[in-house]
Structure formats: structure tokens, C-alpha cells
Structure 1
Amino acid sequence: MTAITAAVSLLAAPAMAEWKPDKPINIIVPWSAGGSTDQVTRVVAPILEEALGTPVVVVNQPGASGSIGTKAALDAPRDGYTWTANAIANNATYAVTGLIEDTSIDDYHIYLHVANVPVVSVNADAPYADFGELLEAMKSGDVTVGTAGVNSSGGMALAAIKEAAGEELAARMVAYDGGNPAVLAAASGEVVATTQLAVEQTEMIKAGKLRALAVLSDQPLVVEGIEEIPPITNWLSDMPTAPDYFGVFIPAGAPQEVYNTVDAVWKDKVMNSDALKSYATERGAVFAPSYGDQARERAMPVVIAEACARVSRGEAVVDPSEIGITCPAE
């Protein structure tokens, strides 16, 4: 190819348009302030703000296991200025539980930042020395467990524990508007335990208000400043576990330059962010940024697990196959 031909080819190729937002971007966090989604979104927002050159405002809009704020983002104009944030499995499975009609993972462009794990903790004054003792009490006594609701990571964790135990548990879930109030309820003794995410609990564990008994993983959890948390598989050896990926999501239908620009920002800034790495290390999360097809591929195991668990527990009002999720054969 001659130099002249190459120059002509470059001129003929369509340039990738760069989005230059001219007003603030709102990220709707569909949970109360201080919870896992709120925490990490407030770490990521300043990174995006600096790179995009416009204010990025975090808006808390809790209610109905995160579905109210999520629907508000879906109902907003598809102009690139209203995003949402959550655990991706929530956004992908709201239709299965009937909380939001006719929605799926395909409604979003996906930008993941960390993976989180639930931890089983009890009030510091609770009499349970380890998870085995708590599990026995859950079988025979009325143990109260604070979560952010049925569709939250804590609610799903409690349901998974009940399923893995293989017998009826008397533990009673008490739902709050977010992970932070659920954790504070356990720390104050309003409930006995919580199954919310590690990132929501670490400060209360470090302060001696909560005692961590198990992490919902097959590996121990190591967090700066607290003792290693043993894996729940020490007691429930066959319990399946999957990373719970969190991120921000831009509803589909915006101009393509919005996604092109945010893709580039995510690759160049978020995936190399020291602030996000520090947050993950200090709070007990996994630094795992990705976007596009890679993000979707990473997310699908937990999306499938949570959608299909709803079916096995009799909680589904819509079959996952209707939103493109195939459950493994029994």
C-alpha cells in the first residue's frame, strides 16, 4: 500500500466519536447510603468525573430490594446521563422475581469494578463461638438475621445457607433498606446476625461490634486489620459459591459515543485506579474491573446461579428462560 493510498484509507475510515457530556451524570444507587453499592460507587464516581469533565452525582433511591431505583434508571431518557449501580445479578434477575417486568442483563452496557463476598457475622455479645454453633441455633432457635431484603446479597446468602443446610432452619430474616442499616442492626443487637457483604461489615468487625464467623466462599477471607475469616465450606462442604460482581450500568439505547467514551475511561482509568485497589484491599473485596463482553462473561455464573436458585426455592414468578437464562439440568 502506497503512502497516498494509506492516507486516503485513513480519511475514509469513520472516526470514533468522543462523547463530551455537557451536564451532570446521575448514578442511581438503589440502596441506602453506606452499603456496599453506595461505598464503591462513591469511590468510582470521582474517577469518572475527572475523566469525563462533568459532575458525576450519586443518587440514593432505595426500596423494594433495589428495584425502585433501578426502574427509575430504566425509565429515564436514554441519553447517557442516567446510570445505575448494583450487584449485576440483581439487575439481571429482577424480572424473575417480578420486581421489574420485562428486563434482563441485555438492558445494560456493563462496567464491573469489584467482586464481593457475603460474611456471616453475629453481634459481639452473641454466645456463638463459630459458625457451627450458630447453625445449630438456627435449626432450633429463633435467630434473627438482618439483610437488605430478599433480593440483596445478604438475603440471597441466607437463602443459600438454608438450602445448603438441607433442613428447615428457624432463622428469621429482618429486612432493611440497605446493607448498612442491616449491619448496624446486628452491631447494636437489634438482630442477632447479618449475612451482608464483607465490605459493609469490616468497620464494625474492626471496632469489635461484630464477630465474623464465616465467609461464603471455599477460601478464607483475609482483610487488613481483622482475623482471617474461615470459609463456610468448613461446615457446609457442598455449598456452591460464586463471586458477586458489582458495577455501574448504562441503560442500552444511548448514543454509541457514550459507550465508546466510557469504555475508554474504564480501560484507562478505572482498571488502573489505586483508589479502587485500596478500597478493595481494606474492605475485603476483590479488585476485578472489566467492561463489555468480558464483564458479561464474568457476571453470568452468578447471574445464572441466582436466577435458577429462585426457581428451586419456588420464588420465581417468571421462568429464567424467558430472559435468556438457561438453568442447568438437575
Structure 2
Amino acid sequence: MKRTLLAAAAAVLALTGVADAQNYPWKPTKPITVVVPWGAGGSTDQVVRLLAKEIEGAIGQTVVIVNQPGASGSIGTKSVVEAPKDGYMFASGAAKDLGTYPVTGLLNTKLDDWHLFLGVINASVMGVNAATPYKTLDDLVKAMKEKPNGITVATAGINSSGGAALGAFAQAAGVQPRQVTYDGGNPAVIATAGGETQATTQLAVEQAEMLRAKRLRALGVFATKPLELEGVGTIPTITSSIPAYKATDNYFGIFVPKGTPAEVITTLEMIWKDKVGKSEALKKYATQRGAIVAALYGEEAKKAVMPAIQEFAWGMWERKEAKVDPATVGIPKP
């Protein structure tokens, strides 16, 4: 009797899953690949795996995550650009990075070439190795001014969220830190926790565990509001010490190239509306890791990400780090 009941329950669940999948216009016939252009364990990797579960549950098809790091995210993204636009390969990452590839000269693609499906807002944190003498942001800024190019800061590259935060911070504070780059946010954070570098500006979601373990010390968050991080407490804003720093929201998600069949885009929009915005797993992740759920798509997503793209692109241009004038690739000055 027990086996019969279990079999009946399984059959109902299976039929329910099929029925849910049949509500969507796209019915994929093989696994879908999402390329994460950074190493495993980093911010993009963490968020995309949660989003992939929501897609899998909705359409009843496997979503495979492939980590393909290198060249500040451009190598993995390029593989999606060059792949067939058939709906079976998506890109991912920070929308800010995607929108500024033409400015950095890393990849010939722009924001208008993509459909955005965003999941969370992430904020970078100025974290220092717990053994360093820097107790406040003012202490660190003072040391950077006394030792130009002498304080090492780990990032995932100039085009990464940590690299962007560091560049804007250095410009606003009038300091000259030495950036040390790694193939992903997770390696950059581990390097700082291990004493290989003195500080990191990678995202809170990447630093959270090391902050809770007290191997890193948070001095400030690159955001307009203080960050409440479970097990750590309140992290003050960078702007409270450096008013010249202009904070913007950094959105992460999945990106689908234009030219992909309309039924794929419509299906993903339905999933984002029906599933992602209500995802308990995503909400739990945000609470524990210091992120904000932001399940946006379409024009709303594009509008939301533009301020960060503008600030980063024009900041690089002013610091002479950009290879292309942002105005020439359709990025208006903020």
C-alpha cells in the first residue's frame, strides 16, 4: 500500500512538472548551457546556479553551468557571442561588464546585443586581511597616500566589479593602490584572506564567509546605503568617508544574445515573472550573502543597469584606462 501511494504521488508530481513545462511556448529538447565567464565559487557562479535551478524546474530540462574564466570575463562571453543563436547557450555575469566591453576593447559587443534577465544586486566591499593594521577606511586611505603603489588590492581584473570599484575608489580618494588581478572573485578573496594581498574590493557575496570567519575585516561597502550582513553586522558606506565616490547598483544575471528565437525569450520572461521574483532560494541567498533580489528583464532591466555602465565607462575614460571613447559606442555621459 505504501509503495502504491508513493508511486501515485510521484506520478502526480511528474504530471504537474510536465503541465508546468507545457505552459511555456519553448520546449527545449536538449540541455541548455550557461557560460559563467569567471571561476567557480565567485559571485556570478553563485547567482547563476540558483537561477539555473529555477529554469530547470520550470521547463523540465537540464541547465549546465560551464565556468570559462579569462580576460576579465570576455573569453567566456565571446564563446556565447560566437555560438549559434538557437537558445541553447546563454552568457552571464554583471550587466555593467557586459555593457562596457567595447570601451575596454576586450570584446566587440554592447548592451543592445543582449536580452537581460537579472537576478540580484551585488555590492563590492573594501575588505582587508584581518592581520593588517587598518581598522577603518581612513586608516587605509592614509596608508595608500603615504605609500603610493604600495598597498596591494586583489580583484578579478580591471573590468570586474572589484576592479571597477577599486578604480572609482582610487580616483575619488586621490590614492594609488597596486591592483593584483586573479581569474575570478573567489581566488581574489582567498588571496587576501591568506595574506597574499592586503585588501580586496570584490563583492560582499564573495567575501561573506571570510568576513564571518574574521579572516577579513570590512571597512566599507561601495553602495548608497550601509550593508547588513548576517554574522558580520553593519558595514558603513564608502561615501560616508569619501563623498566624492559615486555609488551605483551592480546587477547580476543571465544574458541571452539577440537573434535567439522569440519563444525562448518569451519563456524566460514568463519564468522570471512567475518563478524567479518569488524564489525562496534566491531570497535566502541574498539575506545570507549580502545581496538584494532584483528579478528584472526587458526594458526595465536595461534602464536599471545603465547608471553603473555609465559611471564605470566614463570613469575609466577619465582615468585613461579605456581604449574607446564611451560616447562613440552609445554610452551617454552620466
Match of 1:8 in 2: none
TM value normalised by structure 1 = 0.92
Match of 1:59 in 2: 66
Q: Is the 8 A contact 1:140 1:170 kept in 2?
A: no
Of stretches 260-269 and 304-313 in structure 1, the one that deviates more from structure 2 is: 304-313
**Corresponding residue to 2:273 among 259, 267, 275:** 267
1:156 and 2:164 are equivalent in the alignment: yes
In structure 2, C-alpha distance between the alignment counterparts of 1:185 and 1:105, rounded to whole Å: 32
In structure 2, C-alpha distance between the alignment counterparts of 1:53 and 1:322, rounded to whole Å: 43
Output the amino acid matched with 2:237: P
Alpha carbons of structure 1 residues 229 and 17: separation in structure 2 relative to 1, 3 Å:
closer
Output the amino acid matched with 1:267: K
Q: Identity across aligned pairs (percent)?
A: 52
Match of 1:223 in 2: 229
In structure 2, C-alpha distance between the alignment counterparts of 1:293 and 1:270, rounded to whole Å: 17
Match of 1:314 in 2: 320
Q: Is the 8 A contact 2:34 2:64 kept in 1?
A: yes
Match of 2:83 in 1: 76
Which consecutive unaligned segments of at least 5 residues does structure 1 have? 1-15
In structure 2, C-alpha distance between the alignment counterparts of 1:96 and 1:218, rounded to whole Å: 25
Q: Aligned with 1:203: secondary structure? A: helix
Output the amino acid matched with 2:170: K
In structure 1, C-alpha distance between the alignment counterparts of 2:193 and 2:239, rounded to whole Å: 25
- CA shift for structure 1 position 319: 2.0
In structure 2, C-alpha distance between the alignment counterparts of 1:17 and 1:157, rounded to whole Å: 39
Match of 2:142 in 1: 136
- CA shift for structure 1 position 323: 2.4
Q: Where does structure 1 differ by over 6 angstroms across 4 or more consecutive aligned residues?
A: none
In structure 2, C-alpha distance between the alignment counterparts of 1:304 and 1:70, rounded to whole Å: 20
Match of 2:117 in 1: 111
- CA shift for structure 1 position 316: 2.0
CA RMSD of aligned residues (A): 1.2
What are the Cα deviations for residues 220-274 of structure 1, in whole angstroms up to 9, with x where unaligned?
Answer: 1101111211111121022110010111001110111110111101110001100
Match of 2:9 in 1: none
- CA shift for structure 1 position 17: 7.8
In structure 1, C-alpha distance between the alignment counterparts of 2:156 and 2:47, rounded to whole Å: 17
Output the amino acid matched with 1:266: W
In structure 2, C-alpha distance between the alignment counterparts of 1:170 and 1:265, rounded to whole Å: 45
Match of 1:43 in 2: 50
Of stretches 115-124 and 304-313 in structure 1, the one that deviates more from structure 2 is: 304-313
Match of 2:154 in 1: 146
Q: Is the 8 A contact 1:26 1:57 kept in 2?
A: yes
In structure 1, C-alpha distance between the alignment counterparts of 2:248 and 2:276, rounded to whole Å: 23
What are the Cα deviations for residues 151-177 of structure 1, in whole angstroms up to 9, with x where unaligned?
Answer: 001011110111101x3x241110000
